[in-house]
Amino acid sequence: MSVENRFKMSAERLKELKEELQYLQTVREKEVADQIREARSFGDLSENSEYDEAKTEQGKLYSKIAELKNLIDNAEIVEEVAGVDKIGIGSVVTVQEVGQSETETYEIVGSQEANPMSGRISDDSPFGRGLVGHKAGETVNVEAPVGVLKFKIIKISK
């Protein structure tokens, strides 16, 4: 499989995905099967909304299981970068937009762990790509919908 179809993540995230898959395939699948069995007992399936809802839930469950299997099968474990001299996955970076006074802090993570609202930026995002490989004190250009933004790297930590 090509590198583009791999999902970068930490070993911890892969473990979380495997645990979620295990739960869905055992506990949740049994719960949904019980819902279907109970709904069937209500009689005529053509007018049985409980049955329709349970079958819809089963479809969603199987889709989620397939998605998790794909993520797990194509996971690329990325180790955190050793040292704090250059930005990489696992780095916590404090930046300041050139011309602004406030600073912002982000953690660089793999694509499956990104959550921009909580300050976790993917190394595959335009902002993450703009930061990776640079050192504290450098100014980087980041492509954004509004144009190129310049950020000064204030601090890098782990």
Indicate which CATH number applies to the domain containing 108. Answer: 3.10.50.30
Q: What's the pLDDT score for residue 2?
A: 46
Q: What's the pLDDT score for residue 83?
A: 54
Residue among 129, 8, 135, 126 at smallest CA distance from 83: 135
Does residue 112 sit within a domain?
yes
Does residue 50 sit within a domain?
yes
Domain range spanning residue 126?
A: 92-157
CA–CA separation, 28 and 36 (whole Å): 12
Indicate if 146 and 110 belong to the same structural domain.
yes
User: In this structure, which amino acid lies at residue 111?
Assistant: S
Indicate if 62 and 102 belong to the same structural domain.
no
pTM of the predicted structure, to 2 decimals = 0.67
Indicate if 107 and 149 belong to the same structural domain.
yes
Region of 39 please: left (phi>0), alpha (psi -120 to 50) or beta: alpha
Does residue 84 sit within a domain?
no
Domain total of the chain: 2
Indicate which CATH number applies to the domain containing 14. Answer: 1.10.287.180
Instruction: Report phi then psi at 104, rounded to 5.
Output: -135, 145
Does residue 55 sit within a domain?
yes
Residues of the chain falling short of pLDDT 50: 1-3, 82
Does residue 85 sit within a domain?
no
Q: What's the pLDDT score for residue 20?
A: 96
In sequence order, the 6+-apart residues with CB closer than 8 A to the CB of 65 are 21, 24, 25, 29
Q: What's the pLDDT score for residue 67?
A: 93
Does residue 153 sit within a domain?
yes
